[in-house]
Structure 1
């Protein structure tokens, strides 16, 4: 098949959004696609030279072109949603997907970084980081910068920041341990549910660009066995589908997984390190009354 490989994900993105009820977080969409196409954890953790997971990047490119073609709505606050046009799609051949890619590229060439020749364009786009939501919606432009700030923190600084985040979220006696050889446990805290019930919680902080895999969740659970009622893994990256299943496995202590999108949501909701500002939209209808 000619053209970039990510066009194979055009239909899976649409089908995943349909399965999710019409909208979903990027991580949810990726997990549905990985399940439907039997994509292994190894494939999901393969990285580009720039450090981004290849699978995630190809799905993001697919979504970018689907937005431009009108099959997916422009996202706000990290949610992808299907359009009425997208709902009408029942099947899509690879030739049709390639045609969509070529039509969009010809119309929106200025928004897509590319070399001069068409063959070079298709080879290069596979290895470039896909435009995120900020390329389509300026409302969430700060999220990309915030994620960059988090990734640039030293490991100890990120652990202390997660400690602050947990405190702001209602945890008490939150301490960072960060001891080597402690099974990856970075800290602990107490969550007071009511005057009678409280839980001891252990947490782990992973300043990742890629995905946390199932073995890492298992290792963390092994380290927390007999020491806490619950565990939390916070990451700037994502979790593979197998890692998510392991976190809620029957008969094992539950582990809450906080992926990058959710982590940014928490900073936003708590206004932690973020200063809100008012943005005004112009009501053109109001001014039309004064044009006569």
Structure 2
């Protein structure tokens, strides 16, 4: 199963906190909500695309945020949640499962109308065609927007790679490998492609004396790269007495080519899709702009005891 949208966490959080009127640590509430929603261990391990937090904890946090905005819950101290008197009264008045209308009211009535409008636009791509406007939390919308921008740029980079000259493509590949940390300096990566290159387009010296080297083949193939081409590159490595080789293409590899590379271990294959992603990650031909996302610093507001 997939992790439910944040509005689905509202009720289990309400019920758990009502059973603990003195409050409970947020981590306990997270787990209780996950248990109530029957999340699997795999669900609990799923991370946001940014990799900074499990998805279920993020959505539980946004559900509690909505309860706080509605005046039903509070955070009397950092990492600790507790229902307010209004929250306890609300649960007592609604002992049975909340209706969809009640959940929607809690999820949206105390948020800025502009956020609700953004949710209406983003929710279908985040949670499926049947998702309502409340289904996507602000973090969901942000992550999806970034993912969409990344997919668009990756496609643009991929198309640009298919248009550049073979010589410049080889240079791009070496620039990328340098940005990834191969070679102490750009001078340690040399383009050697040309007639009689034996299938080798570039050489990376991993140490100052050039005792350890990685050989590179960078080709703008249009057709799928098969096992014979990978075997030929492997043979070129043997001719150079090389231990490591990277074969990079704007195309893709057949299953047989991938199996052969795994069997010989010292050859790494990079297809066009992965190449575009690596260029984004390491800002080769791509510019990343920072996005400042505000988050309150709870420690700042903690007053020292007298």
Normalized against structure 2, the TM-score is what?
A: 0.43
Tell which structure's C-alpha radius of gyration is larger: 2
Name which structure has the greater RCO, CA cutoff 8 Å, separation 6+: 1
Higher strand proportion (structure 1 or 2): 1
Normalized against structure 1, the TM-score is what?
A: 0.45
